Amino acid sequence: MNEELRKVIADTQARYKADPTEAQVTFRSESVLQSGLQSHVSMRDHKLTVDEPEVLGGKDTGPNPVELILGALGSCQEITYRAYATALGIPLDEVSVTLDGDIDLRGFFGVDDSVRPGYGAIRGTVHLTSTAPEADLEMLRGAVNAHCPVLDILTKGVPVDLQLDLRQPVTAAAE
Amino acid sequence: MNEELRKVIADTQARYKADPTEAQVTFRSESVLQSGLQSHVSMRDHKLTVDEPEVLGGKDTGPNPVELILGALGSCQEITYRAYATALGIPLDEVSVTLDGDIDLRGFFGVDDSVRPGYGAIRGTVHLTSTAPEADLEMLRGAVNAHCPVLDILTKGVPVDLQLDLRQPVTAAAE
C-alpha cells in the first residue's frame, strides 16, 4: 500500500517538475438549496447533504457548513501526514485529529456588527501512533504544516469572487 | 416554513442581545485516517467519508478536503441567503451556487516551496430566483456577504493551533 503511494507521489512530483502546467487544477462544487436550510452539494460524483441544527432553524439532516470546515481541516491534516510520512520513509501506524472551532453567533445573526461571523479560533490535537523517534515526528509535523492545503487556506485566506445571477420565476400565468 | 424560520431568527437575536454568553458556541469534528488516504469524519451524529481521487493516490470513496471547502462555502452562502431573505422579508424562490477553486498542486507535492499549497483563488456564481426588484437583491447580497460565516473564514483567515499527541504502538510482544 505505502509502496504504491510512494510511487504515485514520486511520479507526480517528477511530472509537475517537468511541466508545471500539469499541476494547475480546478476543483468544483455545485449546490442547490432545498426546503428550509437544507442544501444538496455535489463535488464530482460525490453527494453531501448540509443542514443546520434545529436550534439554528434547520432540520439537522447533515453537518452544517462550519462543521464541514473542521472536517476538511482534520482530514486534510491526516492525508498530508500519510503522504509525507510515506515520502520521507517515517513509520506512521495511525493518525487522527480532533478539532474545536469557537464561534460567536452574534456575528451571523447580525446582533453586533463588530463580531466576525466566522470562527474566532480553531484549536485541536493531532494524534500520531508511530515507532519513529520524536525528532522525526516533529520534522514530519513541520513538513505537513508547510504543505497541508486546508491549513494554508484557513490560516492565510483566499481571494473569493462571487457573481450574482438573477432569474425571474417561471409563472403558470405566462401560458 | 418561512414564518417558522423568521421566528427562530428573531427569537435568537433577542436572546443573544440579552445575553451575549449564549452566543458563544463551539463546533467539533473528530476524524480517523483509515487505510490509504481515506478518512472517516464525525461531526456530532453526522458521518462523512473523505478521500482523494485515484490520480492523487486515493481510492476516490468521497470528496477530498479542498472540495469540501467549496461545498462548505456554497451551502453557507445558500443558508445565509435564505436566512437574511426571510428576516428582511425579501421573496426568494431558489438559490444555488457553483464554485471553482484553482490550485497549483506543486505546492502540496513540495515541488516548489514558493507555491502555496491551498487555493490561489475561488470563483463562483450565486443563482437567485426571485420576484424581488434587483435593488432589493443587491441589498440582500450585501447583508449575506457581511454575515456568511464560511465566506468570512475563507477570505479573512482564522488562527489555528494544533497540538501533537504522540503514542507508541501497542505491540503483541509486550505480553
Q: B28 vs A128: CB contact, 8 Å cut-off?
A: no
Give yes or no for A85 touching B (CB within 8 A): no
Q: B117 vs A149: CB contact, 8 Å cut-off?
A: yes
Question: What is the CATH code for A64-157?
Answer: 3.30.300.20
Q: In whole angstroms, what is the distance from residue B9 CA to residue A109 CA?
A: 7
Using a CB-CB cut-off of 8 Å, the residues of chain A touching B26 are 100-103
Task: Give just the sign of the alpha carbon dihedral A5, A11, A12, A14.
Answer: positive
Q: In whole angstroms, what is the distance from residue A123 CA to residue A121 CA?
A: 7
Residues linked to residue B49 through DSSP beta bridges, in sequence order: B40
A8-31 burial, b if ≥16 CB within 10 A, otherwise e?
A: bbeebbeebeeeeeebeeebbbbb
Give yes or no for B63 touching A (CB within 8 A): yes
Give yes or no for B10 touching A (CB within 8 A): no
Give yes or no for B90 touching A (CB within 8 A): no
The pLDDT of residue A175: 44
Structure confidence by residue, pLDDT tens digits, A101-152: 999 999 999 999 999 999 999 999 999 999 999 999 999 999 999 999 999 9
Structure confidence by residue, pLDDT tens digits, B125-168: 999 999 999 999 999 999 999 999 999 999 999 999 999 999 99
For B61, which DSSP code? S
Using a CB-CB cut-off of 8 Å, the residues of chain B touching A21 are none
Q: B111 vs A67: CB contact, 8 Å cut-off?
A: no
Give mean pLDDT, residues A79-86: 97
Helices of type H across chain A: 2-18, 65-88, 134-147, 149-156
Q: Which of residues 21-40 of B touch A (CB under 8 A)?
A: 23-33, 35-37, 39
Structure confidence by residue, pLDDT tens digits, B32-89: 999 999 999 999 999 999 999 999 999 999 999 999 999 999 999 999 999 999 999 9
Q: In whole angstroms, what is the distance from residue A76 CA to residue A118 CA?
A: 20
Asked if ipTM goes beyond 0.90, one says yes
Q: What is the DSSP code string of A39-87? A: EEEEETTEEEEE---GGGTS--SS--HHHHHHHHHHHHHHHHHHHHHHH
For B30, counting Cβ atoms within 10 Å of its Cβ (0-12 exposed, 13-18 middle, 19+ buried), the class is middle
pLDDT surpasses 70 at A13: yes
pTM of the model as a whole:
0.96
Domain regions of chain B by residue span: 1-63, 64-157
Q: In whole angstroms, what is the distance from residue A94 CA to residue A97 CA?
A: 10
- Average pLDDT taken over every residue of chain A: 95
Structure confidence by residue, pLDDT tens digits, A37-47: 999 999 999 99
- First-last CA distance in chain A: 61
- pLDDT band with cut points at 50, 70 and 90 for residue B175: very low
Q: In whole angstroms, what is the distance from residue B159 CA to residue B152 CA?
A: 13
